[in-house]
Amino acid sequence: MGNACRCQSLFAFSPAFSAEYYSHSLEVLETALNQVPAYEFWRAFDPGKEHHVDFRYAAMPVLTKEDIRNRSSRGFVPIDHNIQQGLESKEIEFVETSGTINERVTNIWNQKWWDASERASWKLNSYAKKIMNGNHREAILANPLNVGFISDATPLPMEKRRLARFLYLNERTNPLSWTEKHMDRMIKELEIFRPEVLEANPSLLAKLCRYISESRKSVFQPGLIVLTYESPTILHYKQIRQVFDAPFASSYGSTEAGYVFMQCEHGSFHQNTDFCRIDFQPLKPEYGGPFLGRILVTTFNNP
């Protein structure tokens, strides 16, 4: 009865999806329940194939990082896949992430799937769709603990922070250690590299923009700024807008889930339906529901 009520509340918030979306949903659910060892005990929660796939998803437990640690990432590989062969062929690798909650967790990383998920998200923003073609130059301003090259003791020259079409502007893990010289180098490299897209952690970009604004310097203007790694605040937007006139697009996802949402040019977030399923779980009214809740993400197409 509890599952039925929960399912009805989920349906109230569900937009219309394509037949292909539901086909992917069903395929992933059946694969998980029947071929992936870590989900074996979930079979007991399944109301059965005669029920709508949304109802079946609503009956499932929620996977947590603790589950991944307890089962190990190897437990989430289908039984017909050989993990050692995948590692040796470099189709997959192990990556560690801490995210924003709980302890570090080891995940299986498939770069080809991640790249495809990212490309699918570009079409959800008209500027990204026009500019981002997979060959575009992209400068990244982030903490190297998330992405890039770490070097706190010695500055890395520009060529040591280049990787294919990417330039990583920052190698320091602590932004409090940024000096004027360090930020001047970022400004200079943006002019040299002339990226079509600047992808940035909003708090770090806001810090750089405060310096640019206060020192009355000029900076190269990319065609699009993609904000990621954290949720931007109104203050971040204000400080960045004092320096950059490029359009913004905020990208939302995670190491485990890929690219989940992309912000369109009008400011709304759109689900990357080609690569993930979203189930909205509303909170109780006394905690801000039913329009406030949490989202549960199920990935598509990840081998």
pLDDT digits (tens, 9 = 90+) for 242-263: 999 999 999 999 888 999 999 9
Type of residue at 200: A
CATH, domain range 116-269: 3.40.50.12780
At residue 163 the predicted structure's pLDDT band, cuts being 50, 70 and 90, is: very high
pLDDT digits (tens, 9 = 90+) for 87-121: 999 999 998 876 555 577 888 999 999 999 999 99
Mean pLDDT of the chain: 91
The CA–CA distances, whole Å, from 158 to 150, 171, 191 equal 13, 10, 13
User: What residues does each domain of the chain span?
Assistant: 72-109, 116-269
H or E stretch covering 95: strand 93-97
pLDDT at position 8: 41
Inter-residue contact 76 to 38 (CB < 8 Å)? yes
At residue 7 the predicted structure's pLDDT band, cuts being 50, 70 and 90, is: very low
Specify the DSSP class assigned to residue 156. Answer: P
At residue 71 the predicted structure's pLDDT band, cuts being 50, 70 and 90, is: confident
pLDDT at position 97: 77
Instruction: For residue 195, say if its preceding peptide bond is cis, omega within 30 degrees of 0.
Output: no
This prediction has a pTM of 0.86
What's the token pair of residue 55? 């109802």
Type of residue at 268: S
Per-residue buried b or exposed e for 197-230, using 16+ beta carbons within 10 Å of the residue's own CB: bbbbbbbbbbbbbebbeeeeeebbebbbbbbbbb
At residue 221 the predicted structure's pLDDT band, cuts being 50, 70 and 90, is: very high
Specify the DSSP class assigned to residue 238. Answer: H
